Each structure stands twice: as C-alpha cells, then as structure tokens.
Amino acid sequence: MFLFGAATSSHQVEGGNHDNWSEWEEKTAEKKAESAKERKWPDYIRDMYPSPLSRENYVSGISADHYHRYEEDFDIARSLGHNAHRFSIAWSRIEPKEGKFDEKEIRHYRDVIAALRARGMEPFVTLWHWAIPVWFAEKGEWESPECVRYFSRFVKKVVSELGDDVHFWITLNEPEIYTSLSYLLGNWPPQRRSLAAYLRVLHNLIRAHKSAYEIIKKKYPNAEVGIAKNNIDFEAMGGKIMNRFLKFLGDWWWNSYFLDRISRHQDFIGLNHYFHSGINYGFEKNEKKVISDVGWEIHPESIYPVLKDLTRYEKPIYVTENGVADARDIYRESLIRETLKWVKKAKREGVDVRGYFHWSLLDNFEWADGYWPRFGLVAVDYKTLERHIRPSAFAFKKIIEKWEDS
Ligand code: BGC
C-alpha cells in the first residue's frame, strides 16, 4: 500500500520547546523584526498575525501547540485520508540535562505513536530535526569530538523505550541544509562561518547516522532506517561543457556524497524535495517563472529526475517532504497534483517509490523566518490556535482516494 501523509518537526509545531533554537530566537528576534522593516512586503503577508514586522513572529513560543493538540491534529489528518505521518522527537525534551532522561516526555511520545496507530496511521519517526538540547550546544554540538557518543546515548534510550511500536526511523533531517546554514553561511545557530567546521560537522553527522543505524538494527533487525535527504534537480542548460561539469559537481557533492557514505547503512531513502537549480555558468540561473511566498521556484516536474537518479542505490524511496509556502493556497493543490503525477510516472517506470509526505500538516515555525511562511495543509490561526483545513488539503484527499497502486 502506498503511504500518504504529512510531515512535521517538534520544534516547529509543538510549542514550549526549550533548546538551542528557542534561546537563539530570544537573542535575535528584535533585530530580525527591525530589519524586516527595510523589506517591501505584500499586504497579505505584512498584515498577518504575527506580522513579519513584529518580534513575536521570530519567537517559536507556544507555536501551533501541537504538543497538547496532537490528537485533534491526527483526527484531521486521518479525515484527510492520510495513512502515515512523519514527526520528530525533541531531543531537548527527552534529555533536557546531560544523561538525565525525562520519563514523562518519553511517555508523551509513546502516546503520540499510539495515537497514530489508533487511527491506522504509520509513524515515521525522525530522531534529529535540527534543534538540540542546550547542554549539547554548549559542548560544541556536532563539532564536538564526543558528539556521536552523545547522540548515540539518546538514540539508544529512545529506541529501547519506543522501538516496539516504530517500524520506520529517520535518523537525521537534511544534513546538508543544516551544515551549510549553521556552519558555512552562518545564518543559523551556532552561526559559524568556517569551511573546516562545515566539513567536520558533515562527517560527524555521517558517523552519527551510522551509529544510530547500528543501534536500531541491533535491537530491531526488521526496522527500516534511513535519513531525510534534500536532493536538488541540477539542470545543465544549453548543453555547454562548463554547465555539465557544474551539474556533475552539484550532483556529486550535494546529492550523492552523504548517501554514498552511508549506503550500506540505510534501508530506504527519504527524499525531501523542494529545489530545481538551472545551471548556466553558475547555479540557480533558471527563470523561476512561478514562485512561492518565500521566493522559491515552483517546479514540480523536477522530482522526476531526482527520483530516477536515486534508483542507483537500489533501495525503496519515500518522499519524506515536499511542499510550498503559500498563505493564499493558490499553488499548493497544483504542486501536489503535478508532483504526484511525476511520482507516478517514475513508479510506472520501475522506481520503487512507496510513499509521499507533504510538508506540512500544519502551519508552523519556519526557522529563521519565523511564522509568516505558511506551509500547512491546515492553517493555524495563531491568535486562537484554531485549525482551518485549506482547500488544497481536500484536493490532496481526492488524489489519495483515486490513487491506484500500479
Ligand atoms: C525542512 C523543514 C522546513 C521545510 C521548509 C525542509 O528543508 O526539513 O524543517 O520547514 O524544508 O523550508
């Protein structure tokens, strides 16, 4: 059976998280709101609550309060035809102090998993979706020589407590995005700008994944373990040698390097897909005819070459994220429809793709941009925390109902 669902991550929807991100938000929110004033915003974004011009937009705070409302949210997902759901476990809740595990929080995630199972939805559990405990950040996080040991201890605990009820594990979310933004470009905490640190962290994440894989498989040999990998459709324009060379570089470094290193330590490939990059003596030279609220090109056909390319690994593939920031819900339906058309084409041609998770179930806290980018199938009114199902979510439901697994 093909799996259909949506994805979320703990820091982005739960509310009340205390981690390296929440601390960084407190420090930077004021400044971000100030510099947002220099930018020209369309009215429908500027007039949102919270407005990108306000400090509240940049502090995750209570977020969508999914921590307390997950049952209601899963009822909605189920009513929309979802038979699977991807979410992440907040390391900072499970291990708020080094080596001290919080049993109450473990119970929370056990209840979350049970709530999914009770609704006939298959859980896909992410172990690390970017936010980390403050103590781990203070120890130098993924740069620390001890990082794999710290992460493994957390994974061991989670797996021993929750492993009976989980079949699909995603160890890491998008390692390249995180390392680039946090260690190379300095945009995200810990705001480092160092090529050496970037490479070190990337390699530590490779080791962290392998270790987590081994921990899970040792206890649960039948469990399926992978990562959520952000692959881009690099398109060499005009057949020029230089462009083909740059495409080779992009494919090698961005799309393949990490996966090649862990290829014997994964049972499936989780694909997060958002980007198409036209190459013409440089990256991102494509026209970007249609763009989302955050300026990203909407180009659903690009999932097809990316899926085809992944067949090299001879592993099942799950699309673990794909979505669009679209507060007016004018592009989401066609993005889903078109993307799934290309997924189906790839599948008919023999690509072993087994599921699609839309990003996201709910509007949520979009990292450094805060609340204004609206990615949800379900809109969240941040004043009342009421949920409003967007029309595209019903369209997605119809597509699910009509899907034939051929
Ligand atoms: C991340 C999500 C994020 C989404 C939209 C993905 O790269 O895994 O956390 O919200 O993209 O930017």
Residue pLDDT tens, the chain, 406 long: 999 999 999 999 999 999 999 999 999 999 999 999 999 999 999 999 999 999 999 999 999 999 999 999 999 999 999 999 999 999 999 999 999 999 999 999 999 999 999 999 999 999 999 999 999 999 999 999 999 999 999 999 999 999 999 999 999 999 999 999 999 999 999 999 999 999 999 999 999 999 999 999 999 999 999 999 999 999 999 989 999 999 999 999 999 999 999 999 999 999 999 999 999 999 999 999 999 999 999 999 999 999 999 999 999 999 999 999 999 999 999 999 999 999 999 999 999 999 999 999 999 999 999 999 999 999 999 999 999 999 999 999 999 999 987 6
Strand ranges, E, within 231-308 = 233-236, 269-272, 276-279
CA of residue 208 to ligand 1 center, whole Å? 21
Q: What is the pLDDT of residue 406?
A: 62
Distance 310 CA to ligand 1 centre (A): 20
For residues 77 and 377, what is the distance between their CA atoms, to the nearest angstrom?
A: 9
Global pTM? Answer: 0.98
Residue with tokens 């820091």: 11
126 lines ligand 1 (CB under 6 A): no
Kindly give the distance from the C-alpha atom of residue 242 to the centroid of ligand 1, in angstroms, as a whole number.
31
- 330: tokens are 């004018």
Please give the pLDDT value at position 23: 98
Amino acid at 30: E
Ligand 1 within 6 A of 22 CB? no
Measured in Å, residue 357 CA sits from the centre of ligand 1 at 12
User: What is residue 118's predicted lDDT score, i.e. its pLDDT?
Assistant: 98
User: What is the atom index within ligand 1 of the atom nearest the CA of 359?
Assistant: 4
What's the confidence (pLDDT) of residue 405? 78
Backbone angles phi, psi at 392, to 5 degrees: -60, -30
Q: Ligand 1 center to residue 181 CA distance, Å?
A: 12
CB of 173 shorter than 6 A to ligand 1: yes
Q: Which is the closest atom of ligand 1 to the Cα of 174?
A: 8
| 21 in contact with ligand 1, CB cutoff 6 A | no
Distance 240 CA to ligand 1 centre (A): 33
Q: Is 321 in the pocket of ligand 1 (CB under 6 A)?
A: yes
Structural domains in the chain plus CATH codes: 3-402 (3.20.20.80)
Strands 3-7, 84-88: pairing kind: parallel
Best residue among 8, 359, 371 to mutate for probing ligand 1's pocket (most ligand atoms within 8 Å of CB) is: 359
pLDDT of 153 reads: 98
Q: Return the pLDDT at 239.
A: 83
> What angle do the packed helices 391-402 and 332-348 form, to 10 degrees?
20
Phi and psi, residue 361, nearest 5°: -65, -45
Q: Is residue 272 within 6 Å of ligand 1 at its C-beta?
A: yes
322 lines ligand 1 (CB under 6 A): no
